């Protein structure tokens, strides 16, 4: 009778019934965990505010609207002067971070895939050369690569007076790489509209061509047709808009070049060092992805009459991407995060602007570090989201 009464008591207790339900118990635990975490965060922030008040500081971001008072030597996207605010300096630093991250990802991907394929070459000399380069580069800290390339650029390249000249318009010196800068007119929006239309056409054409290939086996020259569409439509739009394009050419005036676009030594060194360093890891990822594909796939493609390059393009790489993409995401994140080392050679990214000079001028350590952390967190989440989307597209579809 005692056992029956205890069972009846447990059954009649609604809280106990909720706790015994697996799904309900999981939700309760998650709610309690979030409450504990939020409480800890609130207490931490309260402690920070109290300590800041104790030393005579306030927690605010008003300093972003004060004049910055410092120069940024490399601002290719938007104009900047020392009279601008800390907010505009932060935007310049953010754009410079985006620029080096995007350029680094593109170049490291190209170099990584190339070296990964060469690493599997049947040519012994090419195979060994790539292997030695990969092992040497990967086992040296990336900061030393950055300092090394920067030192080579600054010390070995000539001064502007003795610049290396290419086609009378490109000048390579120890103060940067000076190239012509396009200056668009007011009707340039027509060209941009034509380019956007061409890109939309290429997107839908590529999807249609892939569908036709899957259903019938017929292969269309997607690359050539896409390239022709982009060049043709954009060219027609350019002519229709009255060719709204002029060029600003660099010219030697005094001790340096004026006009055009100047790619500073800091940008060149950081871009090259991050790219070839990260490409070594990508090369090994690509090599592992290709080796993960059964050799029978290659033999079957050869039996159907496919050439080696078409076999690699149509059979091996598409299957290997399912193995390559997940670890490739980590390398893209590494490129972005390693760009914070730019401050070592004076490249003005978000760390050098907000986390460096702005912090020292305003004394807002907490606020500036929060901004820098949120910037890198946001960039990393965007890259991860894009790569996860691409990884799902490359996944095998169950039938």
DSSP 158-197: PPGGG-EEETTTEEEETTEEEE-EEEE-TTHHHHHHHHHH
Angstrom distance (rounded) from CA 382 to CA 378? 6
pLDDT digits (tens, 9 = 90+) for 128-141: 999 999 999 999 99
- Residue pointed to by tokens 């995007």: 102
pLDDT digits (tens, 9 = 90+) for 243-261: 888 888 888 887 888 888 8
pLDDT digits (tens, 9 = 90+) for 363-396: 888 889 989 999 999 999 999 999 998 888 877 6
Domain 86-139+267-394 has CATH 3.10.560.10: no
Mean pLDDT, the chain, rounded, equals 86
Beta-carbon neighbour count of residue 102 at 10 Å? 12
User: What is the pLDDT averaged over residues 67-87?
Assistant: 87
Angstrom distance (rounded) from CA 267 to CA 308? 38
Q: How confident is the model at residue 8 (pLDDT cuts 50, 70, 90)?
A: low
CB contact set of 16 (below 8 Å; sequence gap of 6+)? 10
Question: Does residue 397 surpass a pLDDT of 70?
Answer: no
Half-sphere exposure of 148 (CA within 13 A, CB side): 12
CB contact set of 155 (below 8 Å; sequence gap of 6+)? 174
Question: Does residue 18 surpass a pLDDT of 80?
Answer: no
Decide which of 9 and 209 is more confident. 209
Contact between 267 and 255 (Cβ < 8 Å) = no
- Residue pointed to by tokens 């310049």: 92
pLDDT of residue 1: 45
DSSP 61-99: -GGGGSB-----S--SSS---TTSBHHHHHHHHHHHHHH
User: What is the pLDDT averaged over residues 7-23?
Assistant: 67
Percent of the chain having pLDDT more than 90? 35
Angstrom distance (rounded) from CA 42 to CA 60? 17
Query: How many residues are recorded in the chain?
Result: 399
Half-sphere exposure of 90 (CA within 13 A, CB side): 21
Maximum Cα–Cα distance across the chain: 105
Cα 193 to its chain centre, rounded Å, is 26
Q: Name the packing angle between helices 86-118 and 317-338 (round to 10°).
A: 140
Decide which of 59 and 327 is more confident. 327
Show me where the domains of the chain are located.
2-54, 86-139+267-394, 181-248
Q: Looking at 86-90, 204-208, 238-242, 301-305, which range is the least confident one?
A: 301-305
Residue 330: strand, helix, or coil: helix
pLDDT digits (tens, 9 = 90+) for 170-221: 888 888 888 888 888 888 888 899 999 999 999 999 889 888 888 888 888 8
């Amino acid at each position: 009778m005692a056992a029956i009464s205890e069972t009846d008591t447990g059954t009649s207790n609604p809280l106990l019934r909720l706790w015994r339900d697996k799904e309900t118990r999981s939700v309760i635990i998650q709610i309690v965990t979030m409450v504990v975490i939020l409480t800890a965060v609130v207490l931490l922030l309260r402690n920070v505010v109290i300590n800041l008040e104790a030393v005579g500081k306030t927690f605010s971001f008003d300093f972003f609207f004060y004049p910055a008072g410092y120069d940024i030597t490399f601002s290719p996207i938007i104009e900047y002067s020392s009279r601008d605010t800390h907010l505009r300096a932060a935007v310049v630093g953010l754009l410079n971070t985006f620029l080096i991250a995007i350029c680094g990802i593109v170049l490291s991907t190209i170099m990584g895939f190339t070296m990964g394929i060469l690493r599997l070459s049947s040519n012994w000399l090419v195979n060994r050369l790539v292997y030695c380069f990969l092992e040497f580069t990967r086992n040296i800290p990336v900061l030393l690569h950055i300092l090394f390339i920067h030192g080579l650029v600054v010390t070995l390249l000539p001064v502007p007076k003795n610049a290396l000249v290419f086609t009378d318009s490109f000048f390579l010196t120890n103060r940067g790489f000076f190239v012509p800068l396009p200056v668009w007119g007011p009707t340039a929006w027509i060209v941009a509209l034509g380019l956007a239309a061409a890109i939309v056409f290429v997107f839908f054409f590529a999807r249609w061509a892939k569908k036709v290939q899957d259903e019938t086996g017929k292969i269309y020259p997607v690359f050539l047709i896409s390239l022709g569409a982009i060049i043709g439509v954009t060219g027609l739009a350019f002519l229709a808009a009255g060719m709204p394009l002029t060029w600003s050419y660099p010219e030697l005036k005094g001790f340096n070049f004026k006009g055009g676009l100047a790619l500073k030594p800091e940008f060149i060194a950081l871009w090259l060092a991050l790219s070839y360093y990260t490409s070594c890891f990508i090369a090994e990822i690509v090599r592992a992805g290709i080796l993960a594909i059964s050799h029978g796939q290659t033999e079957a493609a050869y039996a159907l009459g496919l050439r080696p390059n078409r076999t690699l393009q149509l059979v091996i790489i598409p299957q290997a991407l399912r193995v390559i993409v997940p670890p490739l995401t980590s390398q893209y994140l590494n490129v972005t995060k390693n760009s914070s080392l730019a401050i070592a050679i004076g490249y003005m990214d978000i760390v050098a602007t907000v986390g460096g000079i702005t912090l020292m001028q305003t004394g807002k350590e907490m606020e500036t570090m929060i901004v820098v952390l949120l910037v890198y967190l946001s960039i990393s989440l965007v890259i991860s989201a894009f790569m996860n989307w691409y990884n799902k597209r490359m996944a095998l579809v169950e039938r």
